[in-house]
């Protein structure tokens, strides 16, 4: 087996060389329009918007701050400029069904002129017919309608409506004559929804006059009516006449003929709203349910409105997979997924794009220019944010926050540009604002309220490294893991699980290590040991398997009765073969143990054992890197539990021979010998007659 790796300072944090960036300050950089770091997502977005087929709506997924909304709206604003404007939308009476108003769709810009021409026609009609004899009214109406028909002859929907209006008006001659005879003021007659003027009024709900390109709406999630429109106008008391002026267009009516952008969480908070929205996408028709209103209890709703639009829904990645699994309609209606990555490979090409994006954010936010050394530090922080020395973040929201705060500290210092020390200050100040909880944990450890040893050696005790999440702040802490072992029946007790504090992943980790012990040391005999594992002074829920390496080391130390170094912290998970696997938040875990050691005083022995596969994730703080460089702190990367045990105990782990036996003077030899002794004792307890026979033979001899 390969020995463990002693990590060098260069392996602890990848640095960005300022000289490789090729500028002095960011104001020297040319920022191209439309720049983004999401090539795959941009291509998927263009495809989805371009195909223009039913069901090819888009679900845009990714982490908050990834620039999803910005890229979607930027692409749509560019696209709609070159597409035809949508229609104006008016609502009028339905003369066949007075409780189901009609929609009138007119070419963009015609809605307001048509409303005005109808208003003028009604005024002219009233003035002209007020003095007409009853028998001449029908003739006059026909003559006056001819002018309207001639003006709007090119729009078929208006011709049909005017024909229907003419037929209805002829049936209302008696009422019309009576109203005109009793009319005191023209304005009040025209404004009365219960009059015949109100019956023939046209109400403009959506106007595209002056619009440049296709409709584009972003729904803010503020209620059903803001999406579907207000479709329940008030009935006028005593008249039974609905006032269509109280109708309001929603985002769907305004987006008709174009694009609707919305956030998935806003839509899915109301499952009835989601059901009706799916029906609209499936049928292409907005069909409101009839509702009862007014003193007469009439059922009222506008007629179905044909809807042609493309929906771009923005949401979390987990929500997409949940909908795909649980909603049979979802994938049929949202055929295009636009997946925003949260990281990019850190290579020369992507580094250049990343730096240009930083310059774009600085320009957009009107911040001070940034010096190249500070930009290099931002590149390094981009890798730190994704815990990967080979990747950089695409989370523009977090980067913008750092830049704004860096600008603040630069201005506070009276600087004309943002420098590296200002970036460092912004990161440190954010941590200081968030670190109250961490300080309380540290205080408990340093005052020995929580028992953590950072010097000396103890049997069956190890410093496991864990992380604590406090909102968006994550920090590492050591936690003492202890083990006990005694003669038993092959059971390893997970005290956290028994106390209902351990989660499923932690319990899985304990079960895996128990299988490793049995498979390695008791292949041909029963595992005659009972053991227990616990995180001491842990009072809350605990989950994850990242401590299983530490738990296994504590258990082996208990079995071998060999003390382990308390000046080393341990993180890593193990599989059934004892191989050490990578864990998350490795930087925070290492730094958490380092901070406790610094507070107590570095001795030159202290350090951390971590999985070798986590070396690629190391982006550690400079003070820790400097301590390693000075030989005051150490990092050891291991591939197998044997390497970790050799480091912790200072004795060779030992390899088994062709007979499966370990050398007695090794760690594994001590463990195997102890388990063999347990097996012998258990056999004697289960077969006491054999002991009596041996005693008789001994007396006879």
Which amino acids are annotated catalytic? 546, 589
Tell me the longest C-alpha to C-alpha distance in the chain: 148
What is the β-pairing status of strands 58-61 and 310-315? parallel
φ, ψ of residue 45 in degrees (nearest 5)? -65, -45
Residue 500 in contact with residue 452, Cβ under 8 Å? no
Residue 149 in contact with residue 162, Cβ under 8 Å? yes
Burial of 289 (0-12, 13-18, 19+ CB in 10 A): exposed
* Residue 657 structure tokens: 């021979």
Distance CA 595, CA 476 (A): 9
Closest CA to 194 of 93, 85, 326, 83: 93
CB atoms within 10 A of CB 411: 14
What is the β-pairing status of strands 5-6 and 634-638? antiparallel
What is the β-pairing status of strands 457-459 and 88-92? unpaired
What is the β-pairing status of strands 473-487 and 461-470? antiparallel
Alpha-carbon distance values, 632 to 467, 477, 587, 626 (Å): 24, 19, 18, 9
Alpha-carbon distance values, 40 to 44, 263, 381 (Å): 6, 21, 24
Alpha-carbon distance values, 19 to 24, 376, 669, 687 (Å): 9, 9, 55, 78
Residue 544 in contact with residue 572, Cβ under 8 Å? no
Closest CA to 376 of 13, 9, 3, 122: 13
What is the β-pairing status of strands 457-459 and 563-565? antiparallel
Residue 199 in contact with residue 93, Cβ under 8 Å? yes
User: How is residue 461 annotated by DSSP?
Assistant: E
Q: What is the CA radius of gyration of the chain?
A: 38
Residue 549 in contact with residue 574, Cβ under 8 Å? yes
């Amino acid at each position: 087996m390969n020995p463990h790796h002693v990590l060098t300072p260069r392996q602890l944090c990848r640095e960005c060389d300022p000289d490789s960036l090729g500028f002095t300050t960011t104001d020297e950089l040319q920022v191209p329009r439309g720049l983004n770091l999401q090539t795959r997502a941009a291509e998927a977005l263009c495809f989805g918007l371009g195909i223009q087929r039913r069901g090819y709506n888009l679900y845009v997924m990714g982490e908050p701050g990834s620039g999803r909304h910005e890229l979607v709206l930027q692409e749509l604003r560019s696209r709609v400029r070159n597409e035809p404007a949508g229609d104006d939308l008016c609502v009028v009476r339905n003369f066949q069904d007075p409780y189901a108003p009609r929609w009138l769709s007119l070419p963009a810009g015609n809605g307001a002129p048509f409303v005005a021409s109808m208003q003028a026609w009604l005024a002219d009609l009233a003035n002209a017919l007020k003095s007409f004899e009853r028998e001449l009214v029908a003739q006059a109406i026909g003559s006056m309608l001819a002018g309207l028909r001639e003006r709007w002859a090119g729009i078929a929907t208006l011709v049909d409506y005017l024909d229907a209006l003419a037929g209805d008006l002829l049936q209302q001659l008696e009422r019309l004559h009576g109203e005109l005879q009793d009319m005191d003021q023209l304005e009040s007659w025209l404004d009365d929804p219960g009059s015949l003027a109100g019956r023939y009024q046209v109400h403009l709900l959506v106007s595209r006059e002056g619009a440049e390109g296709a409709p584009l709406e972003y729904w803010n999630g503020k209620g059903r009516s803001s999406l579907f429109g207000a479709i329940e106008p008030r009935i006028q008391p005593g008249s039974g006449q609905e006032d269509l002026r109280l109708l309001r267009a929603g985002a769907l009516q305004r987006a008709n003929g174009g694009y609707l952008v919305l956030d998935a969480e806003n839509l899915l908070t109301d499952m009835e709203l989601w059901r009706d929205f799916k029906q609209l996408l499936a049928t292409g028709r907005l069909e409101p349910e009839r509702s009862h209103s007014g003193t007469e209890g009439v059922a009222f709703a506008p007629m179905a409105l044909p809807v042609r639009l493309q929906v771009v829904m923005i949401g979390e990645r987990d929500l997409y997979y949940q909908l795909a699994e649980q909603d049979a309609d979802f994938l049929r209606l949202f055929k295009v997924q636009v997946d925003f990555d949260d990281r990019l490979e850190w290579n020369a090409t992507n580094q250049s794009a990343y730096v240009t994006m930083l310059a774009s954010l600085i320009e957009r936010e009107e911040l001070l220019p940034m010096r190249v050394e500070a930009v290099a530090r931002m590149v390094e922080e981009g890798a730190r944010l994704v815990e990967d020395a080979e990747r950089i973040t695409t989370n523009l929201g977090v980067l913008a926050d750092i830049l704004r705060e860096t600008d603040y500290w630069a201005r506070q210092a009276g600087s004309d540009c943002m420098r590296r020390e200002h970036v460092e200050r912004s990161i440190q100040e954010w941590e200081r604002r968030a670190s109250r909880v961490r300080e309380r944990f540290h205080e408990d450890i340093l005052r020995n309220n929580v028992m953590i040893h950072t010097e000396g050696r103890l049997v069956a005790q190890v410093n496991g490294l864990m992380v604590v999440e406090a909102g968006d702040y994550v920090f590492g802490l050591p936690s003492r893991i202890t083990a006990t072992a005694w003669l038993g029946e092959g059971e390893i007790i997970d005290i956290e699980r028994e106390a209902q504090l351990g989660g499923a992943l932690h319990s899985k980790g304990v079960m895996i290590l128990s299988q490793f012990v049995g498979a390695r040391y008791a292949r041909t005999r029963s595992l005659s040991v009972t053991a227990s594992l616990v995180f001491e002074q842990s009072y809350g829920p605990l989950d994850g398997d990242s401590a299983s390496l530490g738990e296994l080391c504590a258990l082996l130390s208990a079995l071998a009765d060999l003390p382990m170094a308390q000046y080393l912290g341990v993180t890593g998970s193990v599989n059934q073969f004892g191989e050490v696997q990578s864990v998350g938040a490795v930087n925070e875990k290492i730094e958490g143990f380092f901070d406790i050691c610094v507070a107590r005083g570095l001795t030159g022995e202290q350090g951390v054992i971590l999985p070798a596969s986590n070396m690629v994730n190391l982006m550690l703080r400079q003070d820790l890197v400097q301590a390693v460089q000075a030989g005051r702190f150490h990092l050891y990367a291991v591939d197998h539990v044997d390497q970790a045990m050799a480091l912790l105990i200072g004795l060779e782990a030992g390899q088994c021979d062709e007979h499966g036996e370990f050398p007695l003077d090794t760690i594994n030899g001590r463990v195997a010998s102890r388990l063999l002794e347990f097996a012998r004792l258990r056999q004697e307890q289960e077969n006491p007659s054999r002991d009596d026979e041996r005693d008789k033979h001994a007396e006879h001899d």
